[in-house]
Structure 1
């Protein structure tokens, strides 16, 4: 899921939300890019809200382990044919039952091109996807989905897929109630009805660009029942403001300490500091449609830019060691991660080689103009983007600088609509613990989060091989062969992955999960609560 780094302060709000099992927990958030529809949410500010409102066949523990949630069982003998049995006592928050049809209709809606959903590509393994996903296709139902009875449905994939079952707790695979199909996506997205651990506090729960409030769903049947009364996602204009609120007791949980406090937060917060290696990364995206960045010229320029960046220097000076220099396109905390991907020397600082590559690109077409990097001002990016720009100036002799935009949503909208005309900072936060989940949505041809508009039939084919692998070790090896192709092309320029740094307020107990988010349902607040590191 696209990693937001965005952070309106509601000073004093925390004191109004009580303590104990009914406490409302204030947490940092940001304005979602789109309405709260699971199949159309592919960034983490919307995702954290959607995942609190909807639960799928599985949910994930704090360490990323999938556990049965709405499903009684998901059976397969070949990783291609699945039978799903649902638990019978689940309801949406409007009181209607969660049935097999609610899954099948939701998945078909997400897959059909006519509906234009950002998470469309995740349904690609299902038989019949190609027919409904074709340009201008009028078809809306995949042949691989069949409702057997009210609480049973079957899934048939085009070929075995080692990751399919693991991903069934991920956002786009969640069910949609009947009211979604009667009200339509736009209306529903403002007032979603889910089956998750929380529900909207009321008709005015979402105060756009300020906050969004959810309360505990009293009829929730899942394994992750909330230990609190609800969450107030506060949409901050900066992480510095959020951190100030955390220090003063006006924010309960912050999942991202600002750069300005990375050197001091552990000392200042003491036992209230949170830290954890997580499956998140940061990268530099350069659309292929920009002048000078297509074909061989573009490949040479991408490699030159990558080798002109001194990642360890930025990590030490700005992030105080709370990042790891990228060695691949995923994150080192994931199963199967390998630091020795062929070709990853392109991610190492080599100013001499960078200048040579830039000169080779200039021989194809002389460089003109400036190199700009778009970023959201409500995130914590200016300092490192300024440092990166200075490195490019010093090594390549070009005019390079940041191009700030006010909000994360504005940057994402420009990227999604293909209207952005600069490079941009981007990141990825794991949705389930798999290297394939980092690669497929970002780099497969036509995938929903393929922001640079990259296309490589060789990469696509290698990733399909990895998905069809019979065991994890074989899949990991194929994934890393696919990554070797990415090292040659550099559709994005990997920068670093994360050790998450967060914190909690006085009397709050919380932990960070495998992908850097707070474990929302397990947060407690009370006079006797003791903070624990996640």
Structure 2
């Protein structure tokens, strides 16, 4: 199917009081797709007709519209795709496809400081680097129920501090468990703990064109395989994570249809120190280098023990043949992401993925398709492979889920060989709530369901 008709329900309006119309969607989608506006979610719209014509920023003003979007009336618009995309009805539930009010286009920067939406909550105040306050949106017309009058998001640079505040009743919920509590939080009587299988995959990426690690060279291929086989994932999951994860066998997640644990080349994710050394020596025979490799991670998310363990495991295996791995903690997630977005991050860096929508396509196309490279999506390593792209396109045209997932798995076989990123483990959904908090649970994206929370 290459055309969809979208019809809006009556009564919806933004928190500034203006109505949500068909144009609220078509203008927003076109703005994000337009390369002049340099939006991170641009690649989500690459399947819509007219996307390619909006990818040369030097020839654009920023207000050009996707030709595949056509407004029929205030409550109706059509979407024409370049080719069939069986996942499209699922994709549009992601936040990248949300509508925008007219006030956004008048001053995007000011809008960022005082955002307007049409969801369960409305923005009230932002104390930068401290907290963001939201109030219940009385005009919300959706099906989800809100059990509280609002939510305040407090900003922490230390997972330990947030956990201590939950223990003391000064914070209601956190979805990040510090390393110091990972083995004990489920037995902590001062909190309500949550620990169930989740959908998040943790990996690290080495840019595809990084010297000595280039994906399209034999040397780079050998070094990536060697490094992957030098990491003892089982030990990290058990000893560092305290069992709150599962060793990765592919690029998706056990929580998503299409996951597989026995694909061809999945042995490249298994600990094999002898093979790792052999492959490293073969790479050195092609081109010798000093062996220095920095692993960067966001220190405010509790990843220090994980990346120290990765570095230690890699050095224990490959140190004697030349690898000199070191860990580089970046103080905040924002600084970390800015460096990645600016392509100034050197060496390896953490690249966890929380799915945007429940499909294996989201784990693959959005991270490894060429359309998502160069800052247009989540392809942070700027990986490109025409065969992988072709398989993604083929899969999108298949309506039968099992048949579609098989094609995505064919793409994974290539990814497991080339390793544009190196999967580590799947994170459980973990968190804690303070005493007196009711309705604490977590969703399929490993996030607390804030609208269901209340306090006695």
Query: 1:224-303 residue pairs with structure 2 within 5 A?
Result: 224-269=144-189, 272-294=192-214, 295-303=217-225
Counterpart position of 1:357: 279
Displacement of 1:258: 1.5
Which shows bigger deviation, 260-269 or 141-150?
Answer: 260-269
The size of the alignment, in residue pairs, is: 444
Counterpart position of 1:145: 69
Counterpart position of 1:442: 367
1:190 aligns to 2:120 (yes or no) = no
1:375 aligns to 2:297 (yes or no) = yes
Counterpart position of 1:344: 266
Unaligned stretches of 5+ in structure 1?
A: 1-77, 527-534
Q: Secondary structure at the residue paired with 1:221?
A: coil
Q: Secondary structure at the residue paired with 2:133?
A: strand
Displacement of 1:455: 0.5
Report the Cα distance in structure 1 between the residues aligned to 2:234 and 2:343, rounded to whole angstroms. 32
Displacement of 1:307: 0.2
Contact 1:277 1:514 (C-alpha < 8 Å) held by counterparts:
no
Displacement of 1:136: 3.2
1:511 aligns to 2:436 (yes or no) = no
Displacement of 1:199: 0.9
Report the Cα distance in structure 2 between the residues aligned to 1:275 and 1:450, rounded to whole angstroms. 29
Report the Cα distance in structure 1 between the residues aligned to 2:407 and 2:128, rounded to whole angstroms. 44
* 2:324 paired residue among 399, 403, 408: 399
Report the Cα distance in structure 1 between the residues aligned to 2:445 and 2:272, rounded to whole angstroms. 31
Unaligned stretches of 5+ in structure 2?
A: none
1:493 aligns to 2:415 (yes or no) = no
Contact 1:269 1:503 (C-alpha < 8 Å) held by counterparts:
no
Contact 2:191 2:433 (C-alpha < 8 Å) held by counterparts:
no
Contact 1:256 1:500 (C-alpha < 8 Å) held by counterparts:
no
1:472 aligns to 2:401 (yes or no) = yes
1:167 aligns to 2:91 (yes or no) = yes
Q: Secondary structure at the residue paired with 1:219?
A: coil
Query: 1:57-136 residue pairs with structure 2 within 5 A?
Result: 78=1, 80-134=2-56, 136=58
Displacement of 1:209: 1.4
Report the Cα distance in structure 2 between the residues aligned to 1:137 and 1:357, rounded to whole angstroms. 46
Contact 2:191 2:435 (C-alpha < 8 Å) held by counterparts:
no
Deviations 1:385-414 (A, max 9, x none): 111111111111122110111111111111
Deviations 1:98-123 (A, max 9, x none): 00010000001011111111000000
Q: Secondary structure at the residue paired with 1:358?
A: helix
Contact 2:68 2:79 (C-alpha < 8 Å) held by counterparts:
yes
Q: Secondary structure at the residue paired with 1:232?
A: strand
Displacement of 1:379: 1.6
* 1:178 paired residue among 79, 97, 102: 102
Contact 2:166 2:434 (C-alpha < 8 Å) held by counterparts:
yes
Contact 1:385 1:401 (C-alpha < 8 Å) held by counterparts:
no
Counterpart position of 1:459: 388
Deviations 1:206-251 (A, max 9, x none): 1111111111111111111321011111111111111111111111
Report the Cα distance in structure 2 between the residues aligned to 1:445 and 1:206, rounded to whole angstroms. 36
Counterpart position of 2:253: 331
Report the Cα distance in structure 2 between the residues aligned to 1:370 and 1:222, rounded to whole angstroms. 53
Q: Secondary structure at the residue paired with 2:197?
A: strand
Q: Secondary structure at the residue paired with 1:272?
A: strand
Contact 1:376 1:405 (C-alpha < 8 Å) held by counterparts:
yes
Report the Cα distance in structure 2 between the residues aligned to 1:475 and 1:269, rounded to whole angstroms. 46
Displacement of 1:457: 0.6
TM-score of the two chains, using structure 1 as the length reference: 0.81
Displacement of 1:475: 0.8
Displacement of 1:270: 7.5
Contact 1:372 1:423 (C-alpha < 8 Å) held by counterparts:
yes
* 1:210 paired residue among 130, 153, 168: 130
Contact 1:197 1:216 (C-alpha < 8 Å) held by counterparts:
yes
Contact 2:177 2:302 (C-alpha < 8 Å) held by counterparts:
no
